[in-house]
Chains A and B, each alone.
Chain A
Amino acid sequence: MFRRFLLSLALGATLALGTGAALAQDAFIVVQSTTSTQNSGLFDHILPMFEDKTGIDVRVVAVGTGQAIKNAANGDGDVLFVHAKPAEEKFVAEGHGVTRFDVMYNDFVIVGPPDDPAGVAGTRDVVAALTKIAGTQAPFASRGDDSGTNKAELRLWKGAGIDVQAASGGWYRETGSGMGATLNTGTAMGAYIMTDRATWIAFGNKGNYGIVVEGDPKMFNQYGIILVNPEKHPSVKAGAGQAFIDWVLSDEGQAAIAGYEVDGQQLFFPNAGG
Chain B
Amino acid sequence: MFSFGDIMAEALGLILTWDRDLSEIVLLSLRVTLTAVAISCLIGLPLGAVVGAFRFRGRGTVTVLLNALMGLPPVVVGLFVYLMLSNAGPLGILGLLYTPTAMIIAQTILVTPIVAALTKQVVEDLHGEYAEQFASFGLTARTRVTALLWDARYSLLTVALAGFGRAVAEVGAVLIVGGNINHVTRVMTTTIALETSKGNLELALALGVLLLGLAVIVNAGVMALRASAVRAAYA
Chain A residues engaging chain B, CB cutoff 8 angstroms? 1-2, 5, 9, 13, 16-17, 20-21, 23-25, 30, 35, 39, 44, 59-62, 71, 73-76, 177-181, 183-184, 202-206, 233, 235
Give which listed residue, B43, B94, B181, B196, contacts A60 with CB less than 8 A: B181
Q: Which residues of B contact A177 (CB under 8 A)?
A: 197
Contact call A75/B199, Cβ cutoff below 8 A: no
Q: Closest Cβ of chain A: how far from B178's Cβ, in Å? A: 9
- The stretch from B11-19, B85-93, B161-169 touching chain A is B85-93
Closest-CB distance, A177 to chain B (whole angstroms): 8
Q: Judge if B97 is at the interface, Cβ distance under 8 Å.
A: yes
- Verify if B20 is at the interface (C-beta below 8 Å from A): no
Q: Produce 1/0 per residue, B80-118, CB < 8 A to A.
A: 000000111100101111110100000000000000000
**A204 x B200 contact (CB < 8 A):** yes
Residue of A nearest to B99 (CB): A20
Asked if B179 contacts A59 (CB within 8 A), the reply is yes
Q: Is the CB of B101 within 8 A of A183?
A: no
Is B46 interfacial (CB-CB < 8 Å)? yes
Contact A61 B99 (CB under 8 A): no
Contacts of B39 on A, CB cut-off 8 Å? 13
CB distance from A145 to the nearest CB of B (A): 12
- Give chain B residues whose Cβ lies under 8 Å from the Cβ of A2: 46, 142
B residues whose Cβ falls under 8 Å from a Cβ of A? 39, 42-43, 46, 86-89, 92, 94-99, 101, 142, 179-182, 184, 194, 196-201
B43, closest chain A residue (CB): A9
B99 near A180: Cβ-Cβ < 8 Å: no
Q: Are A75's CB and B42's CB within 8 A? A: no
Known interface pairs A5-B46, A9-B43; A24-B197 also in contact (CB < 8 Å) = no
Establish whether residues A21 and B95, one from each chain, have CB atoms under 8 Å apart when the complex forms: yes
Which residues does chain B contribute within 8 Å of A184, judged by CB atoms? 196-197, 199, 201
Q: A235 to B95, Cβ gap below 8 A? A: yes
Closest 9 CB pairs of A and B: A180-B197, A205-B199, A75-B87, A24-B95, A204-B199, A61-B179, A74-B88, A20-B101, A203-B199
CA–CA, A202 and B96, complex, Å: 33
- Which of A9, A76, A179, A233 is close to B97, meaning CB atoms less than 8 Å apart? A76
Q: Is the interface of B mostly helix, strand, loop or mixed?
A: loop
Cα A150 to Cα B92 with chains together (Å): 30
Please indicate the chain A residues that have their CB under 8 angstroms from the CB of B194 in the complex. 39
Contacts of A21 in B (CB 8 A): 94-96
Residues from chain A with Cβ under 8 Å of B94 in the complex? 17, 20-21
Contacts of A203 in B (CB 8 A): 198-199
CA distance A206 to B86 in the complex (A): 37
Partner of B92, one of A30, A35, A235: A235
Complex Cα gap A136–B179 (Å): 40
Contact B199 A9 (CB under 8 A): no
Min C-beta distance of A249 to chain B, whole Å: 23
Query: Which residues of the partner chain A approach B89 to less than 8 Å between Cβ atoms?
Result: 74
Q: A35 — which chain B residues lie within 8 A by C-beta? A: 197
Q: Is the CB of A17 within 8 A of B101?
A: yes
**Minimum distance in angstroms from A241 CB to a CB of chain B:** 14
Q: Which residue of A lies closest to B89 (CB)?
A: A74
Closest chain B CB from A33 CB (angstroms): 11
Of chain B, the residue at the smallest CB distance from A17 is B94
Q: List 26 A-B contacts (CB under 8 A).
A: A16-B101, A17-B101, A20-B95, A20-B101, A21-B95, A24-B95, A24-B99, A30-B98, A39-B197, A59-B98, A59-B182, A60-B181, A60-B182, A62-B180, A73-B88, A75-B92, A76-B87, A76-B88, A76-B97, A76-B98, A177-B197, A178-B197, A184-B196, A184-B199, A204-B199, A233-B87
A179-B99 contact, Cβ under 8 Å, with A20-B94, A75-B86, A75-B87: no
Set of chain B residues within 8 Å of A13, measured between Cβ atoms: 39
Using known A-B contacts A20-B94, A183-B199, A184-B196, determine if residue A74 contacts B87 with beta carbons closer than 8 Å. yes
Shortest B3–chain A CB gap in Å is: 15
B98 partner, pick from A44, A61, A73, beta carbons under 8 A: A61
Who on chain A is nearest to B181 by CB? A59
Given the known interface contacts A17-B101, A39-B197, the answer about A74 and B95 at a Cβ–Cβ threshold of 8 Å is no
Question: Which A residue sits closest to B203, measured CB to CB?
Answer: A204
Nearest to B98 among chain A residues (CB) is: A30
Q: How far is the CB of A13 from chain B (nearest CB, A)?
A: 8
Query: In the complex, what's the smallest C-beta–C-beta distance from B77 to chain A, in angstroms?
Result: 17
Q: Please determine whether B181 and A205 come into contact, CB atoms closer than 8 angstroms.
A: no
